[in-house]
Structure 1
Amino acid sequence: MTASPSRLHTLRDYIRWAVSRFQAEQLFFGHGTDNAWDEARQLVLGALHLPWEMADSYLDCRLEDDERAHLQDLLQRRIEQRVPTAYLLGQAWFCGLPFIVDERVLIPRSPIGELIDRRFEPWLAQAPTRVLDLCTGSGCIGIACAYEFLEAEVVLADLSFEALEVANRNIEHHGLEDRVYTVQSDGFDGLPKQHFDLILSNPPYVDAEDIADMPNEFHHEPALALACGEDGLDLVRRILAQAADHLTETGTLIVEVGNSQVHVEALYPEVEFTWLEFARGGHGVFLLAASQCREHQALFRERLRS
């Protein structure tokens, strides 16, 4: 797939060539972009530490030999190995903030980011003082909340020690060590007697059928963060069964389940989940008030055992 160095000289050359190759090879775009042009621009400019907003006139700048070699390597890995661009660059953006990412964590893309940007209006009666980001991965959801709620203490919890290493790097990168910290926890097990005003979770929820059908790009992400049983709800069942024990009196639970929304609705037809809507795309995110979690806790525990 190697492009001829004698023919590609400028940023514009490499972006144009990458667009053509991405489309010819039918790459999947779903980790920050949704089309070949934006993906190519993100990879080429990001690899050379250039801003996305750079004036188009600079695209005609000629590249040094080492820059061209670096781009050749990254483009080859993107096309031949289907490595997502965020992993190639070691960075992804979420809620307008940069996050360190690698193959130990999912690439940030949750629609919960739109809720954070809106400060969860109209769903929160008041700003939370304690926030839990359960199954945190890179820490992007919890850290973005820390920017919106300046007085809040934020806990980032995950079963994966490797993921928490990345989350800790992001806490340090954003200078939030004074009120954001990590806890290794399998669901709520590592958080005994802790209570939160807001619990957010983007847990593993992909069912067996969807896992089998996923494009190759997704298989670079940690399987532990994606798949969770035949219907994708093994961990979601546990979260629902225990959430009432960890929410404050007026707390709120928000959980992303994506395409497994159909399984949630089939498993709990008695529960009036609030399914949130998103202007920027996304689906399968439900909200429950603490009172609902308490009201249905016996049901949630029963279905956990079934």
Structure 2
Amino acid sequence: MSNRQSALRDLSSIKDFIRWSFSRFNQANLFYGHGTDNPWDESVNLVLGALKLPLDFDKDLMDCKLTIDEKKRILKLLNERISKRTPLPYLLGEAWFMGLPFKVSKDTLIPRSPIMALLKDEFQPWLEQYPVNILDMCTGSGCLGITAALIFEGAKVDISDISLPALSVAKENIIKHQVEETVEAIHSDMFDSLQGRKYDLIICNPPYVDADDYQTAPEEFHQEPELALTSGFDGLDFTRKFLTQVVDHLHDGGIVVYEVGNSEIALQEAFPDFPFMWVELEQGGNGVFVISKNDLITHSL
């Protein structure tokens, strides 16, 4: 009898399937880094996600029995997660970011930027004025820009991306979170379609993975769009160009919040005298810097 047949016959409750999924994941040598960081949380997310139940689902109902169709749905997702190494948010079509659900597809990165820690604090102490105009460049699913629009009420937010399929997903998330009046999705290769627009705050989580890191990354990462991950041999092709153009798109007093991840060291070596303000992230993560318009002018490249 196969594992699938045994599960269909012998397992009955939500709790049974979470425990069984946990055991399977422990044997599968998967990578966790797309919403969870361990096999137990991955199991809970998979089972509740398959059943369309919220993560704060009443634990007293964990003994509820499942229908055959519900069991088959869980087993199908479990098999794809293990056999294809597909990140769970792609299987569910949804990822959570700062407590909010966002639609995702294989055309978008899965939301996980450590910039969220700064968003929660409204970019203090770096943001000197309330941001009336905000840009989220390389927006992907739109999670950073849409969340910023919800936090900074009344701000006008542009979200841009070079990928039309990614922007299509972002537009769905704009509607999902009812921010159509304040958030505009713009197809743009960096600043090409943003001429004449200036901002008080520019957020950017660009492609920055270097060639070596990409080649050695777990299979799960290779299922995300390479366009949104890689940027040349040292991961800095996009960043070099961005730093030469961004000053023209900032209002006086404006700032840039930018993520380069593990390419932080390469960036510091490439620009040793540049006044990047590296952020210490309480929840972990690295490679996020803040820079002001004044510093960009003083140290123009």
- Assess same fold via TM > 0.5: yes
| CA deviation profile, 1:4-23 (whole Å, cap 9, x unmatched) | 11122111111111111111
Task: State the AA in 2 paired with 1:203.
Answer: P
- What is the aligned length? 298
Distance apart, 1:44 and its partner CA: 0.3
Report the counterpart of residue 58 of structure 1 in structure 2: 61
Q: TM-score, normalised by structure 2?
A: 0.97
Report the counterpart of residue 154 of structure 1 in structure 2: 157
1:6 aligned onto 2:43: no
Q: What does residue range 213-252 of structure 1 map to in structure 2 within 5 Å?
A: 213-252=216-255
Deviating runs (4+, > 6 A) in structure 1?
none
Tell whether the 8 Å contact from 2:210 to 2:231 is kept in structure 1 after alignment: yes
Distance in 2 of aligned mates of 1:189 and 1:295: 24
Tell whether the 8 Å contact from 1:2 to 1:72 is kept in structure 2 after alignment: no
Q: TM-score, normalised by structure 1?
A: 0.96
Distance in 2 of aligned mates of 1:144 and 1:277: 21
Distance in 2 of aligned mates of 1:86 and 1:2: 24
Distance in 2 of aligned mates of 1:255 and 1:49: 34
Report the counterpart of residue 43 of structure 1 in structure 2: 46
Tell whether the 8 Å contact from 2:129 to 2:253 is kept in structure 1 after alignment: no
Task: State the AA in 1 paired with 2:42.
Answer: E
Question: Identity of aligned pairs, percent?
Answer: 48
Report the counterpart of residue 121 of structure 2 in structure 1: 118
Distance in 2 of aligned mates of 1:173 and 1:107: 17
1:94 aligned onto 2:97: yes
What SS does the aligned partner of 1:272 have? Answer: coil
Tell whether the 8 Å contact from 1:208 to 1:232 is kept in structure 2 after alignment: yes
Greater shift in the superposed pair: 282-291 or 4-13: 4-13
| CA deviation profile, 1:92-118 (whole Å, cap 9, x unmatched) | 111111100010100000011111111
Report the counterpart of residue 16 of structure 1 in structure 2: 19
Q: What does residue range 255-270 of structure 1 map to in structure 2 within 5 Å?
A: 255-270=258-273
1:103 aligned onto 2:106: yes
Q: In structure 1, list runs of 5 or more residues that go unmatched.
A: 300-306
| CA deviation profile, 1:23-78 (whole Å, cap 9, x unmatched) | 11111110011111001001100110112122322111110011011111100000
Task: State the AA in 2 paired with 1:294.
Answer: I
1:145 aligned onto 2:153: no
Distance in 2 of aligned mates of 1:72 and 1:58: 20
Distance in 1 of aligned mates of 2:254 and 2:201: 6
Q: In structure 2, list runs of 5 or more residues that go unmatched.
A: none
What SS does the aligned partner of 1:294 have? Answer: helix
Distance in 1 of aligned mates of 2:35 and 2:278: 23
